[in-house]
């Protein structure tokens, strides 16, 4: 698989060539082999890719299967979950991002999955790495993503009863600036 | 694990004990609820978030230069290391070439910061173990010498904001080299003192050997990093395995432990300090005159769209910055990967089955900074 937009662009052939050249310098061939049977698309577009690591997109339904396949000690052996986070893309949905590392081979790969706005649900990766536990709790409280099968989905950093707003969403405003008025504290009108 | 003692012949009732958030042994604002059966811990539930200030959200509203200050306020014991991760991420994304001198100075400051951070650890940890107010005072004597140097360079004891995307804020003072040599001499003395005070100390060994052990496989699975991971025998050091700055050009050893217990976590840190001294000495030989910022640096720094996950080896482990840019002068999303958060997650595994008194020692041994955990 190369790029999806390759054929449509006027200089389609050169875009596809550039994508192939970029992937040849990454570990995509090995990752592709490890992910056989899973819909995986490498990110080759220059505006989206990472400066140092390979990014692979996987649909939400297959994320945990993909992670488990990559974790396999016989294969790529990505045994270390560096970080798990999310990026809010507003109406396009929420990207859940997994940064994996292999202690043995020292390879890095980033797995991304786009969740649609009306269905922010993905299976929990806690069964693959225990490290995912707190990371998923944080993404859950900050973005409102539900991780199915998480053993303890309470809030992590926010107060436990604050379950109805999600601070790291782009739609969530920063706190308003407090201005001193006389002896009390009042709020300035409008948002920051 | 606790040996079979006479206590187990008596029936005891399970009890929940709340520890923190205002408790001197929790190294900040951290709370854990311990389930105990007699003197033995049966369950640990950590509660974090008391220091959550939304640094990630705030960074989205600030341009790339302003973000540096926020890094200081997360990892306040190793600020240079935290700033480094952030500026490296911005530089790599924007494609800025950093002058050689700036890189060497950054390396020296980061390793000095590792020393000051580990001195903080040995001091506080000695107090956790129980009887060594002396260790605390000796450690802080050395740490203060380091902080004096940082203050001379940056103007502040703790919140430096000295690194800039592209290089350094300003040139180091003229007497920088002689001052670093002075400070290294005192640090070496401090390391020797700590070694003498703690490493061979009978009581210290009794409190730390075989306590809070975690296996290499478990430590990796929990995502632990830094000295706490290396103590379990995993030779993962990003300075060597995922190199940045000029670390490939200097010689140093990656220190690992064997048992992964509290003693190893202490000992790895102490040995690591000697390696830091070694690195700084090599850096000082290579430090030459030159510019500290690139010649052409835009007044308002913008990056092309793209993303990066930049990671560096901070004193507590992997300090990662995940920076997503959609073009423009500020991050679209900035995530701070905290080393302490992952290390703290493994606390439950390490503590269950040990005495209540050891819970404090085990917590101390992973050397948490709560501002970094909560961000």
- B138 touching A, CB under 8 A? no
Yes or no, beta carbons of A156 and B48 under 8 Å apart: yes
Mean pLDDT (chain A) is 81
Residue from the list A80, A97, A172 with its beta carbon closest to the beta carbon of B223: A80
Residue A6, in any domain of the structure: no
Looking at the structure of chain A, the number of domains it has is: 1
Residue A145 lies in a domain: yes
Higher pLDDT, B92 or A164: B92
pLDDT score for A6: 44
Mean pLDDT of B339-351: 90
Nearest residue in A to B373, CA atom: A157
Name the average pLDDT for chain B.
Answer: 88
Given a cut of 90, is residue B31 above it in pLDDT?
A: no
| Interchain contact, A133 vs B48, CB within 8 Å | no
Q: Which of B13-22, B48-57, B234-243 comes out lowest in average pLDDT?
A: B13-22
Give the residue from B221, B240, B311, B339 with the most A CB atoms within 10 Å of its CB, the best one to mutate: B221
How does pLDDT run across B151-208, given as a tens digit for each residue? 999 988 888 989 988 889 888 999 999 999 999 999 999 999 888 888 888 888 888 8
- Classify residue A4: in a domain, yes or no: no
Q: What is the CATH number of the domain that holds A71?
A: 3.30.460.80
- In terms of CA atoms, which chain A residue is nearest residue B307? A50
Q: Which domain holds residue A158?
A: 12-187
Q: What is the pLDDT of residue A1?
A: 43
Give the lowest-confidence range in A75-79, B23-27, B79-83, B301-305.
B23-27
CB contact under 8 A, B335 and A79: no
Convert the pLDDT of each residue in A75-129 to its tens digit.
788 999 999 999 999 888 899 999 999 988 888 999 999 999 988 999 999 989 9
| Residue B130 confidence class, pLDDT cut points 50, 70, 90 | confident
- pLDDT category at B278 given cuts 50, 70, 90 is very high
Among B124-133, B159-168, B290-299, top mean pLDDT goes to B159-168
Contacts of A48 in chain B (CB under 8 A): 305-307
Closest by CA to B75, choosing from B22, B127, B116, is B116
**Is residue B4 very low, low, confident or very high in pLDDT (cuts 50, 70, 90)?**
low
pLDDT of res. B83: 92
Q: Is B221 on the interface with A (CB under 8 A)?
A: yes
Whether residue A82 is contained in a domain is answered as yes
ipTM attached to this prediction? 0.85
Of A47, A130, A131, the CB nearest to B305: A47
Find the CB nearest B54 among A82, A156, A167.
A167
pLDDT digits (tens, 9 = 90+) for B219-231: 999 989 999 999 9
Instruction: Tell me the CATH number of domain B6-53+97-288+346-374, given options 3.60.150.10, 1.10.645.10, 1.10.3720.10, 3.40.50.10490.
Output: 1.10.645.10
Q: What 3-state class would DSSP assign to A62?
A: helix
pLDDT reported for residue A86: 93
Contact (CB<8Å) B306/A50: yes
What is the tens place of the pLDDT at every residue in A126-147? 989 999 999 999 999 999 899 9
Residues of A in contact with B335 (CB under 8 A): 83, 85
**pTM for this predicted structure:** 0.86
A182 CA to chain B: closest CA distance, Å? 27
């Amino acid at each position: 698989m190369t790029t999806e937009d390759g054929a449509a662009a006027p200089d389609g052939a050169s875009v596809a060539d550039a994508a192939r050249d970029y992937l040849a310098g990454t570990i995509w061939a090995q990752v592709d082999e490890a992910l056989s049977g899973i819909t995986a698309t490498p990110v080759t577009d220059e505006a989206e890719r990472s400066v140092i690591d390979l990014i692979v997109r996987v649909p939400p339904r297959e994320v945990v299967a993909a992670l488990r396949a990559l974790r396999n000690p016989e294969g790529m052996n990505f045994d270390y979950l560096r970080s798990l986070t999310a990026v809010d893309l507003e109406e396009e949905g929420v990207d859940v991002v997994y940064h994996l590392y292999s202690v043995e081979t020292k390879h890095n790969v980033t797995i991304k999955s786009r969740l649609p706005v009306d269905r922010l649900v993905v299976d929990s990766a806690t069964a693959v790495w225990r490290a995912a536990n707190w990371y998923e709790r944080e993404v859950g409280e900050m973005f409102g993503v539900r991780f199915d099968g998480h053993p303890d989905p309470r809030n992590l950093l926010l107060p436990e009863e604050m379950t109805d707003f999600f601070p790291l969403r782009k739609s969530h405003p920063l706190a308003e600036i407090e201005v001193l008025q006389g002896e009390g504290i009042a709020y300035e009108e409008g948002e920051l | 694990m606790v040996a079979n003692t006479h206590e187990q012949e008596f029936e005891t009732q399970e009890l929940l004990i709340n520890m923190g958030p205002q408790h001197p042994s929790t190294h900040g604002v951290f709370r854990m609820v311990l389930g105990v059966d007699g003197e033995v811990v049966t369950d640990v539930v950590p509660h974090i978030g008391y220091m959550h200030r939304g640094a990630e959200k705030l960074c989205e509203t600030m341009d790339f230069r302003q973000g540096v200050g926020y890094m200081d306020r997360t990892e306040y014991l190793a600020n240079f290391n935290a700033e480094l991760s952030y500026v490296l991420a911005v530089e790599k994304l924007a494609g800025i070439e950093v002058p050689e001198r700036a890189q060497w100075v950054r390396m020296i400051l980061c390793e000095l910061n590792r020393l000051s951070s580990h001195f903080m650890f040995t001091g506080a940890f000695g107090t956790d173990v129980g009887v060594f107010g002396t260790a605390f005072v000796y450690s802080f004597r050395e740490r203060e010498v380091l902080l004096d140097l940082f203050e001379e360079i940056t103007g502040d004891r703790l919140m430096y904001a000295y690194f800039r995307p592209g290089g350094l804020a300003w040139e180091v003072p003229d007497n920088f080299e002689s001052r670093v040599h002075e400070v290294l001499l005192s640090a070496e003395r401090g390391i020797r003192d700590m070694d003498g005070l703690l490493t061979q100390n009978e009581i210290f060994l009794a409190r730390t050997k075989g306590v809070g052990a975690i296996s290499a496989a478990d430590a990796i699975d929990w995502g632990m990093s830094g000295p706490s991971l290396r103590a379990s025998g995993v030779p993962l050091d990003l300075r060597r395995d995922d190199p940045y700055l000029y670390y490939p050009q200097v010689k140093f050893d990656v220190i690992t432990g064997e048992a992964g217990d509290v003693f190893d976590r202490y000992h790895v840190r102490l040995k690591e300090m000697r390696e830091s001294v070694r690195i700084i000495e090599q850096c000082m030989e290579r430090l030459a005159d030159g510019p500290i910022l690139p010649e052409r640096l835009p007044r308002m720094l913008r990056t092309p769209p793209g993303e990066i996950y930049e990671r560096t080896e901070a004193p507590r482990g992997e300090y990662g910055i995940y920076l997503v840019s959609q073009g423009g002068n500020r991050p679209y999303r900035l995530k701070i990967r905290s080393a302490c958060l992952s290390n703290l997650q493994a606390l439950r595994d390490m503590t269950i089955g040990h005495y209540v008194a050891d819970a404090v020692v085990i917590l101390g041994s992973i050397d948490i900074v709560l501002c970094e955990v909560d961000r």
